[in-house]
Structure 1
Amino acid sequence: MKRIDINNYAPLITIITSTFNAEKDLEQCIKSVISQSYTNIEYIIIDGGSTDGTLEIVKKYEKFITTNLSEKDNGIYDAWNKGVKLANGDWIAFLGADDIYMHDAIEKYVQELSKLDYHSLDMISSKVRLVDDKGTELRIIGKEWVWNKFRRFMCTAHVGSFHSKSFFKKYGLYNIDYKIVGDYEILLRAKHLLKAAYFDEITVNMKVGGISNLNNAAIKEAYKAKKRNNSVNNVLVLKYDFFKANVIFFLRKVLNRI
């Protein structure tokens, strides 16, 4: 794709979308990538062996897709790992098949990076708008990465984050033992050494289910990830975090039923 010069910095951006029977939403996702105002983009789609119309949609837009692969996998983090191995970009982002970038999202990322010491950064994140099936806003997520907060709760929005390619060389790929919070676990590995930037813009509409993207299975996996990476040493603190997350999950469930 054509290179656009923004403040003399125009990196190749790799966007990875994993799919599995995603025909309902995939076309809008793809359109949001290929219509970006910034166009130095490599787009990779990793499919898990879809049996619906997903692959027909991919074929429809294949001239805009740099690489596409369809084969059985071991879940979303396995698919993302395949995408990372194929990526050539300076920065790598992951967009869900039912998520949509704002039209100028990538340009805003690059503009922000151009103002920073981007060579030393591992990640840059933004805000994300959570929406329901009808596109109605539920809430805004995504805060600045601060280790003392992140070590206990996922405060950044993964779909609103760009990772430098060197990040994966330093900290490895996603752990496919996790099915829900692998994006949290990989950042826990870096601990306080993670070099992260943040900008206060909504870059993505992320579709979520009926109540929220927080559920009991995710809470248990996050607890396991924190223990595994020794992000919180005090057992009482770990148990308090686990209890607090369950309370929040319960309250959101109740509120969404009102």
Structure 2
Amino acid sequence: MTLSNADESFEDTFPRVSLVTPSYNAAAYLRAAIESVLGQDYPNIEYLVMDGGSTDGTVELLKHFDTKLRWVSEKDDGQSDAIARGFEQTNGTILGWLNADDVLKPGAVRAAVDAFRANRQAALVYGNADFIDAEGRTLGPCTVVESYSRFRLLHYGDYIIQPAAFFSRQAYNDVGGLDKSLHWAMDWDLWIRLSQRNEVVYIDKDLASYRWLGSNKTAEGGLDRLNEVESVARRYGCKGLPAYFRLEKARLLASQSRQDLQQEKYLLTLDKLVQSAATILGSWRAVTSLLSPHVWRNYRTAKALYRHVEEQRVGLR
């Protein structure tokens, strides 16, 4: 498409931001995600919902927004595939994706664009986020977020909250886009590749809310998710799991050992406890992380999130 001079001026002033929402049977939360995008105060947003062929009323909901966004509903090969194909069908110079159960904060897109304007070499911009529950009530801040350090991103953990991150299309294309083979760690893998030769900028503003349901893909990933994280870490020179992921694995193994003990599986209990200790002791970064107030703050946040979900479940019985 050939732009007129007026169009070129508009694009220079307000670069197009393309947002993609992957969705599958998430009608209960999708309206909130859509409205958080449509309610942004930025004038040049292209929004595409990539639905995987939902059967829960999602299509009827999307039809309600027909004049305000584009949508596709067809079978896909998973979340990464839906997001990548969505980006291929858009043309914005700045990209981001918003999962169907998350929401953007008011002014988030404008804040991200302002950060790109102020940092012309930036490939990735990210900010703060908070946790919300199924009803949209705020549970507290995402305490894992840190100021940018590529070393810590690779060797300690993923502190970039995905819905609060935006990146340039040029950089995204240059690094080969999303790795569609990844189920859990595709965002972290992308952040690492974007940061290899490009500038990454942290802005101290709340950009998104991450909906914590206790049944999120990340929450239920267990050891399979951590195995995928380790495989990604080794791609970039790590000798195993980064420090914070090691602590997560150790807690998971310890929790499994308690379950084994309750079932009087004593050998399995001992084995899990040994694995848990070895997971931490195998990395000096993981060991020293236990002395960090930041780590214990994150631990208290995680406990509070799981406790909130359990209280909701008990209340529904």
3-state DSSP of counterpart to 1:49: coil
Q: Could you state the TM-score of these two structures normalised by the residue count of structure 1?
A: 0.86
| Pick aligned residue for 1:71 from 74, 80, 100 | 74
Letter in 2 for 1:230: Y
SS at structure 2 position matched to 1:122: strand
Residue 211 of structure 1, CA deviation: 8.0
**2:233 maps to which of 222, 226, 230:** 226
Q: Which amino acid aligns with 1:111?
A: D
CA distance in 2 between partners of 1:95 and 1:41 (Å): 13
Distance in structure 2 (CA, Å) of the matches to 1:200 and 1:223: 29
Q: Is the 8 A contact 1:36 1:105 kept in 2?
A: yes
The answer to whether the Cα contact below 8 Å between 1:16 and 1:45 also exists between their aligned partners in 2 is yes
The runs of 5 or more residues in structure 1 that have no matched partner are none
1:73 Cα deviation after fit: 0.8
SS at match of 1:26: helix
Q: Mark the structure with the bigger radius of gyration.
A: 2
| Distance apart, 1:83 and its partner CA | 0.8
Which amino acid letter does the alignment assign opposite residue 124 of structure 2? Answer: M
Is the CA contact (8 Å cut-off) linking 2:33 and 2:101 kept in structure 1?
yes
Aligned length: 247
The Cα shift of 1:154 comes to 0.6
The question of whether the paired residues in 1 share the 8 Å contact of 2:130 and 2:138 is answered with: no
Instruction: Give how far 1:138 is off.
Output: 3.8
Report whether the alignment pairs 1:108 with 2:114: no
* Equivalent AA in structure 2 for residue 38 of structure 1: Y
**Residue deviations 1:67-117, cap 9 Å, x none?**
321111111100001011112101001111111111211122222222222
User: Equivalent residue of 2:27, what SS?
Assistant: coil
Q: Over aligned residues, Cα RMSD in angstroms?
A: 2.5
Pairing 1:80–2:83 present: yes
Shift of 1:194: 3.2
Q: How far apart are residue 35 of structure 1 and its match?
A: 1.3
TM (normalized to structure 2)? 0.71
Matched position secondary structure for 2:171: helix
Q: 2:129 matched to which residue of 1?
A: 128
2:270 equivalent in structure 1: none
Structure 1 residue corresponding to 2:42, chosen from 38, 44, 60: 38
Q: Which stretch of the first structure deviates more once superposed, 139-148 or 159-168?
A: 139-148
8 Å Cα contact 1:125-1:144 kept in structure 2: no
